[in-house]
Each structure stands twice: as structure tokens, then as C-alpha cells.
Amino acid sequence: MPATERLYYQDSHLIEFEARVVDVTERVSGWTAVVLDRTAFYPTGGGQPSDTGTLNGARVVECIDDGDNGVLHVVQGAAPALDAIVAGRVDWSRRLDHMQQHTGQHILSQAFVKLFDAPTKSFRVLDQSCEIDVELANPTTDIIERAVEFANNVIWEDRVVTIHNVSAAEAAAMPLRKEPAREGELRLIEIEDFDLTPCGGTHAVRTGEVGMIAMRSWERAKGLTRIEFVAGVRALADYRRANRTAREVAALFSTGRDDSPQNAAQLIEENKELHRRVRALEEVEARVEAERLLTAAVARDDGTRVVSHVFGGAESSSRAADSSARDASGRDASARDASVRDASVRDASACHAAARTAESSARNAEFLKNVAHALIATPNTVALLASRDKDTARLVFARSADASGDMNALMREACALLDGRGGGKPDMAQGGGKDVEKLDEALNRAIQSLS
């Protein structure tokens, strides 16, 4: 089967043609692949997506380069018969878009070479933008914008774009921007007095057809500089989206579009200051909570205070007095020191009443850590803290430097019971789980393991 004659090689503006069907095959997708003796449809390749359009009214959803077997036109709908003469029509809006992006890439890539000796290593046409990966050392926004400005000046000079078909020997003597990726006869795209490079894609006939190029963003990627840009109709669409967003943001500040960055920056600074104040208040609140819990705690025989507490639950009052009311042998400690216990319970009740609002909602892990840090500032103290928030249980276990116990081991055991995970260091660990109903059991096991 002879190779398909590629009409777009000589005329990228050709969108209507007639051709003969030379092969028809069924695809795994259920659609049909049609090969023609000649085509104006560009197949996917070189970073450029394929054309779409119609063959005798049937939708062409994709074109695939099958090498020597020709171009496969994947058809959705009734496929033409073998040897039939069909009328093809390429979607012009898509073709124009791809011509603008691809020609724009040639111009932008050469601008980087001329200004910074930075060759382009890869190119991609995405759904809404394009990307080039450039070998650019020490990139900055100003450097990239210089290349974009240079490229736009070439576009607005409306230079002629010419197609040359040359042999490999002839190409070897020419100042090509990049080495050819294939052997034999080559198709070269020349931008008047600016760029000459081998390429099989579709291109504008003059640079003015590209319209303009705009850089959207850039980043370092795999040792290269990845630049996202748009050209032509995409640049206009991108401006409209950006302008609409800018006007909507400005409306939130009741200010002009160009004043909104300053207002946003001011709001961000104010928000940071509020966050700093909130964190300071949370630290104060954590210290108050810690003092309340320590007041309710009773020291064990070895002098260690074990403070166990659940925030956000119906039983969120201090469990420290209960947890330390029994020593390692299980004997009732209240009989030894009734006066200390009674005073602690009275103080705990008073503090609990004062902090009822704070106790009514669940606490996040950061608050638990703050309380734990405040607790273990007191010598010989172990803090076993938890919060209950709907279907999530959070845990923070900590001990002072002079207290005994492996908080990491205790945390792993508790999280296993809660169907969760966690860990940390011997002196502090955190975690959580989904089985909130077993939260009390998990804390009780931790207390027992300390005995």
C-alpha cells in the first residue's frame, strides 16, 4: 500500500480535499480507521495534536501517523467503502489554533537561542496552553519576558514563513536551529531572516498570523526551564479569563482592577497578624487548660502525675483524678491521701465550669500538642490527651524529661485499637483513628501500661 500523500506539507491552509480510500480497518474502540491516498489531515506528532474534521460527513476524531502505512483517519460513524472517493474537511478553528501555537513555538524557541543561547529540548500543545522545555541557566521572569518580547516583535513584523524540501546533504550545509530527527529528504520551515528548522507540522504563511505570544508561567523541571505560553486565539482567550478574574477580585475589594493586588497583599498581611494573635491566644488557652488539668491530678506513689483527658466528648472533664486514684497494685489511693484528693476534685470542678465552652467542641492535634507541652513543663508529668471529633479520634502522648514511659510504644498500641496509626519519639507521639467508640479504652490501656 503506497504511503499517504500529505497535502498539509505544502499548504497548511488547505482544509477541503478529495481522496480515494485505500484501506479500511476496525479499531479496538469500535470505530473505524480509514487510510486515504492523499490527505490534508495532520496526524499527531512533534508535540502537536492531530486535526479533526469529517470524511463524507462522518466525524474524524483523531488522525494517527502509521509511518509507511499512511495516515489513519479514525472515523466515528458510517465509514466509507474501499476505493470510494471521499470529501474531506478539516476543522479550521482547530487547524488555525495549532498553526498559531506551533509557529509561535518556532519563534519563541529561536528567541531564546538568539538572546541566551538556550535551545528548546521539547514542545507540547496542551488543551489550553503550550509548554517548551528550554536549556536556560539561571532563569528569571525578566529574562523569559525579554525572549517573549523579542518573539512578539518578530510576529508583528509579519515576516514570511517559507517551506523548503531539501536533501540531507543540502540540510547539512544550512544553519539549522536543531538537528533533524530523520534521514532522507527534509522539510524545513524558514522564518524570514530569523529561523530555519526541520519540522513536519502545520505553520502560518506569515508570522503576523500568530497574533501574539504571552507567557503564563515558568518553573524548573528536570534540569530544564519549563515555560507555559499561549499564542494567537489562545492568548486572547487567556487574557479574557485573566481579566474576568482580576475584575471579580477587584469587585470584592470595591476597588479598581489594577489596585486589587495591593489590597490583596494588605489583606494577607492582616490575616497573618490575626493568625499570630490567634496562635498566641491558643497558647495562653493551652497553658490555662494545662493548669486546670494539673490541679485535678494526683501524684502516684512514685511521684509521677499522669494526666489523661478527652476534649470534645460528653465526659471531657478531667480524668486525671480517676486515672491516678489507683496505684500500680490497684489499691484505692484516696484512702492514703483523702485531703489531697478532695481538694483536687473541688479545684477540677471549678476549673471545668469556667472552661465549659472550650470543652464543648473537639480539639485539633495542634491544640493537644500545645496543652501537652504546657503539661510536661512540670517535672515528672505524663500527659495522655485525646479529642473526639465526630468520626475521628486524635491522640497526643507526652512526658517530661524526668518521667518514665515510652510514648511512641503507647501511641502505636492505642492507634491499633482505634483502627488508625501514629507514632513519634519516646518523649512525645501523636496519632489517631476512626474507631472513636474505643477512645476511652485506648486511654485506659495507656494508663495501665504506665503502671
Domains of the chain: 5-90 (2.40.30.130), 95-249 (3.30.980.10), 285-450 (3.10.310.40)
> Which residues touch 383 (CB under 8 Å, ≥6 apart)?
293, 307, 371, 372, 375, 376, 396, 397, 398, 399
- Rounded alpha-carbon distances, angstroms, from residue 174 to 127, 169, 171: 34, 9, 5
The tens-digit pLDDT sequence of the chain (451 residues) is: 668 999 999 999 999 999 999 999 988 777 899 999 999 999 998 889 999 999 999 999 999 999 888 999 999 988 899 999 999 999 999 999 999 999 999 999 999 999 999 999 999 999 999 999 999 989 999 999 999 999 999 999 999 999 999 998 999 999 999 988 777 899 999 999 999 999 999 999 999 999 999 999 999 998 999 999 999 999 999 999 999 999 999 999 899 999 999 999 999 999 999 999 998 998 899 999 999 999 888 888 888 999 999 997 544 444 443 444 443 333 343 333 333 333 333 333 333 333 333 333 446 778 999 999 999 999 999 999 999 887 889 999 999 999 999 999 999 999 999 999 999 999 999 999 999 999 999 999 999 998 7
Amino acid 27: pLDDT: 82
Amino acid 25: pLDDT: 93
Amino acid 140: pLDDT: 97
Amino acid 364: pLDDT: 78
Amino acid 321: pLDDT: 38
Q: What is the DSSP string of 371-420?
A: HHHHHHTSSSEEEEEEEEETTEEEEEEEE-TTS---HHHHHHHHHHHTTE
Residue 377's Cβ-side half-sphere holds a number of Cα atoms within 13 Å equal to: 11
